[in-house]
Structure 1
């Protein structure tokens, strides 16, 4: 009756309803009543919708509905980790359709400063390039999630976004600025890396006696820091140094065909890295040495022709590795470094013909391995006293498509005790 009196006693019905709404939002519900079960407003921050630019839609969005969250949740299910799901229920999101550089310059100053997620979709002509400088996003210091998508857009990294946790870039260009500050005292961690496969530890004569097969893979050239910095200046490769809170990074279809070890330097919180569809042909030594906490890494749909163990060196926390749809033709003991926590490895759609002895000796905890390609049949066989899947003691799932063998030899799956 008291609440009804508020409405009837008002000289303006619209204002009275507004007062009633406020009253209900701040009043604790009566326990056990039907009203109390319904009106339990969630503790959500207010979004200043009126400040949203005309080219954008601003809203409170369920975090798990964001595109990058859906991808990471899919990856989380793969390795049984739900920590990413422990996020705020709702996120302050602005989704903006941008057709020109002028539109971006107009709207960026009117974006709500308390945004937590921003999605920029470039829908303009490919020839009308859109350039977004990271320095222009620094006023949005509450931003946790950034997504930029659209052919013809370029993200110029001229300032680190140290507050970002999730970044998703699809079909754009990434470019470093001349004013970008890079680490001054970083060094290639080659001197601190101790692992070497048997073929590099033993003298050639002793190795050839103990291990009859020779491996022709050669280590990639390791350049000095000064030489590397000079190459960076010439190519203007992007660097995410300073993005210290970054947990998820997707760079998909961005023509990032070359990597360098300093690109991910300092990303100590990075857990998920996706570099799919970038035409990457090789992994330089210690390519991911700045992100040693990685749990999932995808290099699928690239152009890798060979693997050298230094390319993935140091990823001792890695649990999921996706190398599907590349151009790998042969695997050997020089292909992989120690990956003690690797659970799943996907090598499908690679024309692998030969798996030489010792290939999987450094993947002792792997539970699932997928291989097979229509381009080439895998020669399923033993090599002297060695099986092709030696040391995969914890393997539960082995999928091999398109194999070639006249006789399934007894030692092919030797030492894979769990199969």
Structure 2
């Protein structure tokens, strides 16, 4: 129904008495409307009223809901509360609606007391600088009034309570109504209220025990307000609260005095608050919380060690605006059940075993953090990761063995970094990988990329709702439900592109391998192997004298490392895939007792640039043994 009629009161009186649901809209061409006790619908269960606030308004009064005894769902949006005269229904100090004006300064954890009108005395002016929660009157200031007068005064106060006649209210929403100040009596008596939404208002503070009158609350939303502080008494008494939404406010600090015990709280959303500091033990009283979101992109969030202690049940943590130079293990203490972690902000380096305190983590996203380096043992002790997102950072390389323990990993997101290459064995150590994003990097394309699985790099994820039907014997029919699943969709645009060498710039990796690099050519393989070998800068020729004087063991073990036998310098360079020549010093006993490890059937590239077969190398070593007797070698080694 659109309230563009000339006489709203007459219009409402024509509504059937058995109406159970009513929605009222104010159109832009209507005049200002004031609703008092005009709605007399005893069977009304659901009521919504939508104003427009521009240019005309709907005004509601204290008596508006007087004849709505059975209402359970109430939604008030974009209406004016200026004509409400909220007063206490108890003769004790309360928080008045005009307390928190600019001239009434107050500090954290302090509230200004206001007495009911019939208890105001001049002593308040004398003591107005005191900010105690309760004010005790001197005996000479107390008025003694007849009991009948007291009953009339209390009855008059009760008659002004907005929801006095709506004891069965389950759902209440007051949104975009200019609500600025809360008083504890506003919701007093709403013993059945389970959901309270006060979004899009201008609330600046939450006084003590503001929601104590609605202690059965399970969901409370105060999003998009101007709340600056939270203190233990603000949310006191909400022992059944499951959901708390405080996003888009002005909260700057969280400490151990912020939250009261909330033993049933499952979700706490404090995102888009300019939180600068989270002190230790802040969440120690939120033992049942499963999801938590903190921070904003516009403010640096400083975490203290032990900040998350007490969150034993937390499974999802979203941190925005984090500012730490090194992300290390101590920041994760207190999160043994964490499954999903999302971090955005500034993290320069991820340290060794940074996630060892969260061994059950499955989904990890640290994107847009300007990460420059990652320790090769960053994921040490973590074995259940299925999704890793390190996109939009400044990574130039990945250390070898970084993902060796991630046998369950399905998705690896590395796009928008500065990566030049990937470790050679990355695809072998990730047997369950379904998707890898490597686009928007500075890739140097070489034949080493033959080992890449390009098909994994041209996929994107998409959520698909799949209909699943099952036969139910009890219902003698099929029962169908919609289940959300993740599908991998082919997208050619996601294939990584070469940045160098110059002739390959702008070409996709698969195209460069197929058309330019000609990696299957035997001549190219020989050239490539020689170039790789020259990088070792080992120009000293391997001779019989070198073996006799400097070496007691010649060991071919096909690792990824090569040692210069004269300088003990370590070169992390591969001659051929899975084949390297390692010449090392060892404790000398006898060259006849030396062991020769040969684990490949391919040729070996010597320092002089020539190739020698495995069998030929064995024969050469045998000749050396026969030429130099073991006792002479032992004697020389002892003299050295």
- TM-score interval (norm. to shorter): 0.5 to 0.7
Residue by residue over 1:356-390, the C-alpha shift from the partner in whole angstroms, topping out at 9 and shown as x without a partner, is 122111111000001220220211332xxxx1111
Query: Which of 147, 151, 173 is the matching residue for 1:250?
Result: 173
1:111 aligns with 15
SS at match of 2:234: helix
Deviations 1:98-133 (A, max 9, x none): 125x3312311211111001111010347x311111
Q: Is the 8 A contact 1:241 1:263 kept in 2?
A: no
Report the 3-state secondary structure (helix = DSSP H, G, I; strand = E; otherwise coil) of the residue aligned with 2:81.
strand
Of residues 32, 38, 46, the one that matches 1:129 is 32
Shift of 1:221: 3.4
Pick from 295, 298, 311 the counterpart of residue 392 of structure 1: 311
**2:284 corresponds to which residue?**
361
Closer/same/farther in 2, CA of residues 186 and 418 from structure 1, 3 Å limit = farther
Using a 3 Å threshold, how does the CA distance of structure 1 residues 228 and 217 change in structure 2: closer, same or farther?
Answer: farther
Q: 1:221 aligns with which of 104, 112, 119?
A: 112
Change (3 A) 1:409 1:272: same
Match of 1:166 among 48, 73, 77: 73
Alignment of 1:13-412 (within 5 A): 96-100=1-5, 102-125=6-29, 128-133=31-36, 135-138=37-40, 140-151=41-52, 152-158=57-63, 160=66, 161-175=68-82, 184-185=89-90, 187=92, 217-224=108-115, 239-382=162-305, 387-412=306-331
Matched residues in 1 for 2:177 and 2:42: separation?
26
Number of residue-to-residue matches in the alignment = 286
RMSD: 2.8
Q: Structure 1: how far apart are the matches of 2:190 and 2:93?
A: 15
Alignment partners' CA distance in 2, 1:418 and 1:189: 42
Structure 2 alignment gaps of length 5 or more: 96-106, 122-155, 339-640
Distance 1:105 1:326 in 2: 38
Structure in which a larger fraction of residues adopt helix? 1
3-state SS in 1 of match to 2:75: strand
Query: In the aligned structure 2, how far is the partner of 1:389 from the partner of 1:369?
Result: 10
For 1:25, the equivalent position in structure 2 comes to none
Classify 1:97/1:261 alpha carbon distance in 2 versus 1 (closer, same or farther; 3 Å).
same
Q: Which runs of 4+ in 1 moved over 6 A?
A: 227-230
* Runs of 5+ consecutive residues of structure 1 not aligned to the other structure: 1-95, 191-215
1:184 and 1:403 mapped to 2: Cα distance?
Answer: 46
Q: Distance in 2 between matches of 1:269 and 1:229?
A: 33
Q: What TM-score do you get using the length of structure 2 for normalisation?
A: 0.42
Q: Relative to structure 1, is the Cα distance of residues 330 and 391 closer, same or farther in structure 2, using a 3 angstrom cutoff?
A: same
Displacement, 1:409?
3.3
- 8 A Cα contact 1:188 1:286, kept in partner: no
CA–CA distance in structure 2, aligned partners of residues 373 and 164 of structure 1: 39
Gap change, CA 1:329 and 1:185, over 3 Å in 2: closer
8 A Cα contact 2:209 2:233, kept in partner: yes
Shift of 1:412: 1.3
Distance 1:412 1:217, change over 3 A: farther
TM-score, normalization by structure 1: 0.63
Q: What is the rounded CA distance, in whole Å, between the counterparts of 1:106 and 1:239 in structure 2?
A: 23
Assess if the C-alpha contact under 8 Å between 1:274 and 1:297 holds in 2: yes
What SS does structure 2 have at the residue aligned with 1:136? coil
Q: Which one has the largest radius of gyration?
A: 2
Higher relative contact order (CA 8 A, sep 6+): 1
* 8 Å CA contact 2:94, 2:113 repeated in 1: no
Alpha-carbon shift at residue 259 of structure 1 (Å): 0.7
